[in-house]
Amino acid sequence: MCGIVGYIGRREATPILIQGLKRLEYRGYDSFGIATVGSSIEVFKKQGRISESEAGAVSLAGCIGIGHTRWATHGEPNDINAHPHIDCRGGVAVVHNGVIENFTELKRQLIERGHTFRSDTDTEVIAHLIEEHHHGDLLEAVRATVPHLRGSYALLAVAAHDRRIVAARDCSPLVLGIGDSELFAASDMTPLLDHTERVVFLEDGDIADISADGVEIYHQGEKVQRPVELIDWCVEDARKGGFAHYMLKEIFEQPQAFYETIRAGVDETVRNLVLSADEVTLVACGTSYHTALIFKYLAESLCRIPVRVELASEFKYYTPPISGLAVAVTQSGETADTIAALKMAKAHNCITLAITNVQGSTITRVTDGTLLMRAGPEIGVAATKSYIAQLAALMQLINIRCGGVFDEVLSHAHLAIGEVLMRDIQDAVALCRGAEHIFFVGRGPFYPVSLEGALKMKEISYVHAEGYAAGELKHGPFALLTPVTPVVAICPPGSTYGVMVSNIKEIKARRAPIIALGVDGDSELAEIVDIFIPLPDTHLLVQVLTSSVVLQLLAYRTACALQRDIDRPRNLAKSVTVE
């Protein structure tokens, strides 16, 4: 939620900041703004999306600047609440990602001391606190300010007449890019890819003093060294590459995301964690929660290991008795609830593992081991290739526990994913685009696949969709079935096939139109449903992947038909760094 970017060097800051904010827009797109530093601070900020604005015409002068793209938490999205925020005299500007939990109290105190507030945001208190502590040295002012802040923050501050940016982080991500006599700061690596591959990940509690010549980092008052790491993403990965939307590009990148994640394998630490676990708890949110549920079905049935899966946002307030291995599944590695849940598991003496797509992300600093997915940067808000790469990572863990019996299956699965990318689903799209409600049903691992299918549909097409375990449909939702309520049923061969066919017939008897996903050549199923979408007749693990991809395409094509904003669905953000 919210993206921040900073630049200091020899070039004009404005175009670099604007380009950086466009790359970060997937983190929030209610408003945007930049500030540059010279003898005074100049600010431009505006409600709306930077990609749809005349931002190219903004020409604030200066080689030092900070920028922000917002996902509103405190204060409605408008020009005034857009960041950067300045102090009373306009001598300090701040951009911030996170939530200052004690801002009401701080604001009251600051107003009592004579400060004038312009916005409704929590962030503005930071600018005024820095103002109070600023006696010519911005670093000292930020150092004196952060102990007053409760909550989460990644912030960048600049001051007039001061040729530096001061950055601080606690529980929100911040990464620095090291260029040639120039430095960058950003919420994640995507804006840095255009300029450098050398990055420094700040730790919670770090304060960085950034100048064009270098950076000095302080932690609890002491100067510290943080390693310079090399990013292995390339700039092309973060571009649309001729596709209409990032989401479509990312759907089409899934064979590679799966293959690369399998190819990268699992290091010895993670292998040992998995082999020694006698029970596993997974914590996750959103799409990642669905991959965790799929893991539960597969791991419990294939490796006979007890697995529990918890919504991270619930887990923090209800901690069941757990032990063994706790796994955080999070593509961004920055989801606040998932990080909090994992810390809770750690406090219960669990050994911890992160499955994430982002090298150096916060979660990797908390856990005992990390299994890095190889999806590359995912820009579309709706998770697609990160979902498939998560499944690749989780299926590898199952394979390890099963002594490698799925080596062959996993090494070829990407081919089947590639095969379904071109499936003709136009009839299914025509049915879904006219619907107000859609049900997705499946059994076993295909139940979480149906949850994910429904999530994809609602988040990008805005059509109300529910995922259900097929057997549960008659415990309530049957009352909603009508001839205009499509039901998407995932019905591959196997132990649940017979009962799924019975369920489909029951649905049919209520005259709801059925779109069924089954294996190629299943004429029995094709005959009883309205629309049949064939999947390659392969291993169960692979059918989990192929059916998921078809449901992503169904959501995507339906959203296109309804002319939705695919990559930036309303009210959503890709990385949810607030609870």
Cβ 332 to ligand G6P, closest distance in Å? 3
Structure tokens at 160: 């007039």
Q: Which of 154, 504, 81 is nearest to 361 (CA)?
A: 154
Only segment of 164-172, 235-243, 379-387, 545-553 that touches ligand G6P (CB under 6 A): 379-387
Report d(CA 401, CA 184) in Å as an integer.
43
Of 288, 370, 399, 461, the one binding ligand G6P (CB under 6 A) is 288
Residue of 45, 107, 296, 574 marked catalytic? 574
Of all residues in the shown chain, the one whose CB is closest to ligand G6P is 286
User: Which CB atom, from 8 or from 457, has the smaller least distance to ligand G6P?
Assistant: 457
Identify the residue among 81, 287, 543, 577 touching ligand G6P (CB under 6 A).
287
Q: Are 478 and 572 a contacting pair, CB within 8 Å?
A: no
332 lies in the binding site for ligand G6P (CB under 6 A): yes
Report the residue number, 36 or 357, with the smaller CB distance to ligand G6P: 357
Among 331, 461, 543, 546, binds ligand G6P (CB under 6 A): 331
CB 452 within 8 A of CB 550: no
- Kindly provide the b/e burial profile for residues 26-55, where b requires at least 16 CB atoms within 10 angstroms of the residue's own CB: bbbbbbbbbbbbeeebbbbbbbbbbeeeeb
User: Which residues, 6+ apart, have CB-to-CB distance to 122 below 8 Å?
Assistant: 73, 74, 96, 99, 100, 103, 151
Query: What is the distance between the alpha carbons of residues 286 and 290, in angstroms, rounded to a whole number?
Result: 7
Structure tokens at 393: 């990572």
How big is the site for ligand G6P, counted in residues (CB under 6 A)? 16
- Segment contacting ligand G6P by CB under 6 A, of 13-21, 138-146, 230-238, 281-289: 281-289
The distance of closest approach from Cβ of residue 358 to ligand G6P in the complex, given in angstroms and rounded to an integer, is 8
Write out 146-209 in H/E/C secondary structure: HHHCCEEEEEEEEECCCCCEEEEEEECCCEEEECCCCEEEECCCCCCCCCCCEEEECCCCEEEE
- The residue (of 314 and 524) whose beta carbon lies closer to ligand G6P is 314
> Is the Cβ of residue 138 or residue 566 nearer to ligand G6P in the bound state?
566
CB of 511 to ligand G6P, least distance (A): 34
Q: Which of 2, 41, 207, 383 contacts ligand G6P by CB under 6 A?
A: 383
Nearer to ligand G6P, 309 or 381 (CB): 381
Contact 336, 171 (CB under 8 A): yes
Strands 325-329 and 280-284: parallel
Say whether residue 286 binds ligand G6P (CB under 6 A). Answer: yes
Q: Is 187 in the site for ligand G6P (CB under 6 A)?
A: no
At CB < 8 A and 24+ separation, what contacts does 211-215 make? 211/8, 211/163, 211/164, 211/183, 212/8, 212/9, 212/10, 212/63, 212/163, 212/181, 212/182, 212/183, 213/181, 214/183, 215/176, 215/178, 215/183
The pattern of x and - marking residues 337 through 366 that bind ligand G6P according to CB under 6 A reads: -x----------------------------
**Which of residues 277 and 328 has its CB atom nearest to ligand G6P in the complex?**
328
Which secondary structure element, helix H or strand E, spans residue 68, and what is its range? strand 64-70
Per CB under 6 A, the list member of 553, 554, 574, 577 interacting with ligand G6P is: 574
The least distance separating ligand G6P from the CB of residue 110, rounded to whole angstroms, comes to 33
Cβ 3 vs Cβ 24: under 8 Å: yes
Closer by beta carbon to ligand G6P, 452 or else 522? 452
190 scored as a contact of ligand G6P (CB under 6 A): no
Q: Which of 330, 364, 546, 558 binds ligand G6P (CB under 6 A)?
A: 330
β-strands 175-178, 183-186 pairing: antiparallel
Shortest CB 382 distance to ligand G6P, Å: 6
Instruction: Please check whether residue 99 is in contact with residue 74, taking contact to mean a CB–CB distance below 8 angstroms.
Output: yes
Per CB under 6 A, 552 contacts ligand G6P:
no
**Among 172, 335, 362, 543, interactor with ligand G6P by CB under 6 A:** 335
560 is catalytic: no
Among the residues of 277-334, which ranges form H helices? 286-303, 312-315
Q: Which stretch binds ligand G6P (CB under 6 A): 209-217, 327-335, 403-411, 545-553?
A: 327-335
Confirm if 43 and 3 have CB atoms less than 8 A apart: no
CB atoms within 10 A of CB 401: 18
Amino acid letter, 574: K
Reply yes or no on whether 2 is catalytic: yes
Which residue's CB is nearer to ligand G6P, number 139 or number 554?
554
Torsion angles phi and psi, residue 53, rounded to 5: -105, 180
469 contacts ligand G6P (rule: CB under 6 A):
no
The CB-of-105 to ligand G6P minimum distance in angstroms stands at 30
Contact flags string 232-271 toward ligand G6P, x per CB under 6 A: ----------------------------------------
Is residue 453 a contact partner of residue 554, using CB atoms and an 8 Å limit? yes
Among 2, 171, 285, 560, which one carries the catalytic annotation? 2
- Residues of the shown chain interacting with ligand G6P in the complex, contacts defined by CB under 6 A: 285-288, 330-332, 335, 338, 381-383, 572, 574-576
Active site residues: 2, 574
